[in-house]
Amino acid sequence: MMTLAPNLCFRTIPTKCITVKQQKDPPHQLNSVIPTKPKPCECFDLHKELIPYGKAWSWQKQIVKQKQALIQEHEDCPDSLIILQHNPVYTMGTGSSEKFLNFDMKEAPFDVYRTERGGEVTFHGPGQLVMYPIINLRNHKMDLHWYLRKLEELVIRVLQSSFSIKASRIEGLTGVWFGNQKLAAIGVRVSKWITYHGLALNVTTDLTPFSWIVPCGLQDRQVGSIRGLLQEFQSSTRCSEAVKPISDDDELIDISYKSLIKEFSEVFNLEIHQKTFDFVEDH
Amino acid sequence: MASTMLWASRAASYLRISVFHRGFSTVLKDLKYADSHEWVKVSGNAATIGITDHAQDHLGDVVYVELPEVGAAVKQGDSFGAVESVKATSDVNSPVSGKVIEVNEELSNSPALVNSSPYENGWIIKVEMNDSGDLKNLMDSEEYSKFCEEEDSKH
């Protein structure tokens, strides 16, 4: 795991570490005190692959349908996780407005998908790790806000533990931030308590395509990446001999992937079982 | 006459609203409820559908409501639309089967009506039922209140 040497060497941008108001909990909540055995979660690791958005989207819906059928038959419904990269694509959420696209739909630089997730327009592309947890909130907490805060928590932990980046939440703006830069975007769909869509973390993403949209509909905010921040930190430090050189892109992706899986399993108390999925077999 | 009217109005106000001891959500007595937190108000063959106070409270501020087309078929237990809040969009399921005869267009401009008035101005669709037997599968207000309490206490 790569960590930046002397934190004291770079200027930290003050971050607002505002915790989101928690939902009111019922008074009796014993099960949060007693640690429970982690439940199994199958993981489809495609983190080194560039998967077309449409394929991944169909795949998610397929898995959601399977899980709903299992629940209908009162069978066990284990959780699933897909982690991958996408070819360049823009995606919009249910209530998304086309006014946040700085181009005509007919002349879009990349494909644009209107999906059923929450949130406004965003970009997915190489260098960005996308996680699609397809989990049964009945196994966890039937609370959407809790789920979103947990997704944020896992990314914050990844950034801290692997890169010493002190990222935070901004109340009212779901996602993970470093100062005014959004490092991870989140948008989910829940159908009968099964989640899909998820989060996207910019690791080594080329951020240029974000400038052709108003990301997440936020005019006065920016988008950042892990590599971008590490480069900033390195260039602003005076004791550069003490700072390790930034790893190459592949290594950054790999470190981020391993950390995302680790924090995901801890935050959701799941035991990861790696599984293979062959797209050739898909319909 | 006067005493009958007085009794009637007292009974009416009792029947209309019942706030249970948890004090968090309102449950109306003359509605039927699905376990996915939708309510239905039946009038003849027409059913008005929305999401409950408990549901809107858990969702938080609704920023978008996805409505079906008038004329679309709906099936009991299946999704007909969605509500979005804070980057999370969730299905709204129909408590009855039938055909959509009206949708609440107001929600396109004011999705927050779902929060402020879940049982009145925040109604979502009206359905012409094709099987009033569907109602038997739903909960009444007391069963629904109990259901909410049990669901909340599990977490």
Residue B40 and residue A146: Cα distance in Å, rounded?
28
What's the pTM?
0.80
* Residues of B in Cβ contact (< 8 Å) with A149: none
Domain assignments of chain A as residue spans, ordered by start: 39-274
pLDDT for B12 equals: 44
Predicted ipTM of the assembly: 0.71
Segment A126-183, tens digit of pLDDT: 999 999 999 999 889 888 899 999 999 999 999 999 999 999 999 889 999 999 999 9
Which of A56, A6, A8, A13 minimizes the C-alpha distance to A178?
A13
Taking a C-beta distance cutoff of 8 angstroms, is the pair B100, B124 a contact?
no
In a domain, B43, yes or no: yes
In a domain, B26, yes or no: no
CATH code of the domain occupying A39-274: 3.30.930.10
Which of B37, B84, B33, B14 minimizes the C-alpha distance to A116?
B84
Nearest to A188 among B60, B87, B154 (CB): B87
Tell me the residue ranges of DSSP E strands in chain A.
39-51, 79-86, 89-92, 112-114, 122-124, 128-134, 168-170, 173-178, 181-191, 194-202, 222-223, 270-275
Please state the rounded mean pLDDT for residues B59-78.
92
Answer whether B87 sits within 8 Å of A174, measured CB to CB: yes
Nearest to B63 among A95, A145, A148 (CB): A95
DSSP class per residue in A75-131: ----EEEEEEEE-SEEEE-TT--GGGBSS-GGG-SS-EEE-SSSS--EEE-TTEEEE
Please state the rounded mean pLDDT for residues B80-87.
88
- Which range marks the domain in which residue B125 is found? 32-153
Which of A223, A221, A188 minimizes the C-alpha distance to A203?
A223
Segment A2-44, tens digit of pLDDT: 443 333 333 444 444 333 344 444 444 444 556 688 999 999 9
Interface-testing mutation among B89, B108, B149, B151, with chain A (most A C-beta atoms within 10 A) = B89
Residue B121's CATH number: 2.40.50.100
Tell me which chain B residue has its CA closest to the CA of residue A147. B88
The total number of structural domains that make up chain B: 1
Answer whether B86 sits within 8 Å of A145, measured CB to CB: yes
Nearest to A94 among B82, B93, B154 (CB): B82
